[in-house]
Amino acid sequence: MKITERITTIILATVLSVSLLTGFSTEKYSNNVSVKNGISIRQGEASFTEVIRVPVGNDSGQVGYDIDILAFGPQDFLVKDDGSICILDSINEKIVIFDNGEMIGEIDISPMSHYTFAQMFRYYDGRFYVLDLISNTIGIFNDNSMTWLSSVDVIPLPENLLSGEILDFFVDNNGIRLVTADDDYLKHHNNEDFIIQTSTLRSVTSIISNRGLQESDLTVHIGNNNWVIPQGRTEVVGVLSSDNHGNIYVDVHDYVSNVAHYSSERTIRAFDNNGNVLGYARLDYQDWVTYPLKDIKVTSDSRLYIMSCRDSYVIIEEIVLGQQYTSRMDELTLEAIALDSLNVECIVNEQETIGLRNVISLTRNQVNSNANDMVHPQWTVNANNKKVFGNVKLPAYVANAAVDTKVTGVPYCYGGDDNRADFLSNQSSLTAGNIDKSTGGFVKGTTGADCSGFVSRAYGLSTKLNSTGFASFGYLKTSSPNSSSSSGILKLGNMDFIVLSGVHVFLFSSYSTSAGTATVFDAASNATGKVSSRQLGLSNFDGYTGRSPWS
């Protein structure tokens, strides 16, 4: 079924303390907790109860982090109907299963591909379904035997639909349903393995929202109720889930306005199907070191869980929503203003000095085509392109592939700037990629592209810029791409770029407010080992700026 309603940026004024204003019936409290439409609600503020604490590491019973250019850790978790909790360890390529706080098993997901980076997973009818960013497949694993089923249970995604374009997916007796970012990605209507729909809320909800800018009011409809959102602070509302009682759970990010430094307050809110607010929880995530793609889960019986990635542990807590929450927005605003007063980088209107002109000749569509061309080339691993010498180190997806295996994508190659045609011409005789940066630059005899080489080729530049060069290339659009406010990532258009000098550069594709993630193209050394399209939370762009080669 095609879904047309979308979640996008909206504007909402905050208050210091938020309480329930709706008139649903109140049951007798037990230990300050009552049940509202199937949801446990505390009389005061929300409570967080730790149910699992997993150490970070690469051994059994641990969950992996990879702190490289970007910080990655577990990307998803789920709670089964029997109460057991499963964590998708994307770094160590496994699913870790816990019951009553104790690990009861691990499932190796590495056989689904020579190299994986699993983004999300689902559980249905005794099997796990794992969406892999690298191989663009969904792997199916048996929960009971703790073993890999067979190669026939690896399902390729529809042609030209990348896993990075998928915001969510669901599995039921009708099959696998993929939810994509936009109508532009609704490319396959009759695929025998998948049902594909455009992004919005779950089909059982009745929320309709629009994109609103700070200059105007906005009305958001939830059930039979309306929010009239006045101009003021910027909030982003995305639907997380719904439960068997018809309740709707939304994820709200409230951003400090009119400051150069990113700061936000995040709350989870539950509504009944008439739009009445049931409860709130304010989340403190300032001490997280990495951010899962999916960090909140709601069970069918209305239990709410959060997975946070701290310095040495991954912690899963059960949340009981409260009737109110105390906002920290005044405090966050003062902190952001104080940082601004230190005269750290603010937006400068460079168009006045550079002049209103495009700095590349290609259109956005042409750049998008160039980027996709470097994601999709298929080539065969052989003895020549697997050979290593000196300090050269192969990307994992190449190193782990057997000779005569077909793989896709231009590999990451430090200092390299090969486009698709150059790489396909070179790959049969030269070493495919090099992720070792101690070499100090490009190593002769290798082929591929690094992050800035990829963007240079996508833009059709005659010479390669490095990330420092891109930090002053074109026009500054936003100094806060880590914010979803109207002055943040929403300033960027398709194929603009996000850059941090001396660190990394991405091509921006789109932003989904419902998922809170940006779809980007990049060449990453460890995360994927190649040019790929993927989704990232906005916190991955802390310290970056958003720029454009188009005036």
Domain final residue pick, 337, 371, 405: 337
Say if residue 409 is in the same domain as residue 284: no
**Shared-domain flag, residues 374 and 286:** no
pLDDT for 116? 72
Total count of domains within the chain: 2
Domain boundary among 337, 371, 400: 337
The CATH number linked to 149 is 2.120.10
Query: CB within 8 A of 246, min separation 6: which ones?
Result: 37, 204, 272, 273
Q: How confident is the model at residue 339, as a pLDDT?
A: 66
The neighbour count for residue 5, using CB atoms within 10 Å, is 18
- Indicate the helix (H) or strand (E) that contains 39: strand 39-42
Flag whether 3 is in a domain.
no
Per the domain annotation, does 215 fall within a domain? no
SS3 state at 157? coil
What is the model's pTM?
0.64
- For residues 358 and 488, membership in a common domain is answered with yes
Residues 6+ apart with CB under 8 A from 266: 251, 252, 253, 254, 282, 283, 285
- Tell me the Ramachandran region of residue 43: left when phi exceeds 0, alpha when psi lies from -120 to 50, beta otherwise: alpha
Whether residues 155 and 234 fall in one domain: yes
Do 310 and 395 fall within a single domain?
no
322 token code pair: 């409260």
Q: Same structural domain for residues 397 and 323?
A: no
Domain identity same for 143 and 103 = yes
Q: Are residues 393 and 269 in the same domain?
A: no
Integer Cα distance of 464 and 413 in angstroms: 13
> Has residue 147 been placed in a domain?
yes
Widest CA span of the chain, in angstroms? Answer: 75
Q: Which helix (H) or strand (E) covers residue 341, if one does? A: helix 329-341
- Which runs of E-coded beta strand occur in 234-355? 234-242, 248-255, 264-271, 277-283, 296-298, 304-309, 313-322, 324-326
Q: What is the spatial order of strands in the sheet that 85-89 belongs to?
A: 76-79, 85-89, 94-99, 102-108
In three-state form (DSSP H/G/I as H, E/B as E, the rest C), the secondary structure along 398-466 is: HHCCCCCCEEECCEEECCCECCHHHHHHHCCCCEECECCHHHCCCCCCEECECHHHHHHHHCCCCCCCC
Do 244 and 301 contact (CB within 8 A), yes or no? yes
Q: Which domain, by its residues, includes 165? A: 9-207+222-337
Tokens of 198: 């455009």
Strand, coil or helix: 52: strand
Is the residue at 342 inside a domain?
Answer: no
pLDDT of residue 261: 60
User: Cα(268)–Cα(241) distance, rounded to whole angstroms?
Assistant: 11
**Would you tell me how many other CB atoms lie within 10 Å of the CB of residue 319?**
21
Tell whether 137 and 47 lie within a shared domain: yes
Domain boundary among 337, 369, 398: 337
CA angle in degrees (0–180, nearest 5) for 15-233-263? 95
How far apart are alpha carbons 266 and 255 in whole angstroms?
9
- Is 118 within the bounds of a domain? yes
Residues 248 and 123 in one domain: yes
In this structure, is residue 4 part of a structural domain? no
Residues 133, 534 contacting (CB under 8 angstroms): yes
Instruction: With respect to residue 80, please indicate whether it lies within any of the assigned structural domains.
Output: yes
Provide the token pair at 78: 């789920």
170 inside domain: yes
Query: pLDDT 10s per residue in the chain (551 long)?
Result: 222 222 222 222 222 233 333 333 334 445 688 999 999 999 999 999 999 999 999 999 999 987 655 567 899 999 999 999 999 999 899 999 999 989 999 998 888 766 678 889 999 999 999 998 877 888 888 886 444 444 447 888 876 677 767 778 888 887 888 876 543 333 333 344 555 444 433 222 222 222 223 344 445 555 455 554 444 444 556 667 778 888 888 887 777 766 656 677 889 988 887 778 899 999 987 778 888 888 999 998 899 999 999 889 999 999 999 999 999 888 888 877 776 665 343 333 333 333 345 678 888 888 988 998 899 889 999 999 999 998 899 998 999 889 999 999 999 999 999 999 999 999 999 999 999 888 778 999 999 999 999 999 999 988 888 888 898 888 889 998 988 877 789 899 999 999 998 899 999 998 887 778 899 999 998 878 999 999 888 888 988 999 999 87
232-263 CB burial, b ≥16 within 10 A, e <16 = ebbbbbbbbbbbebbbbbbbbbbbbbebbbbb
* 403 and 540 co-located in one domain: yes
Same domain, 249 and 301: yes
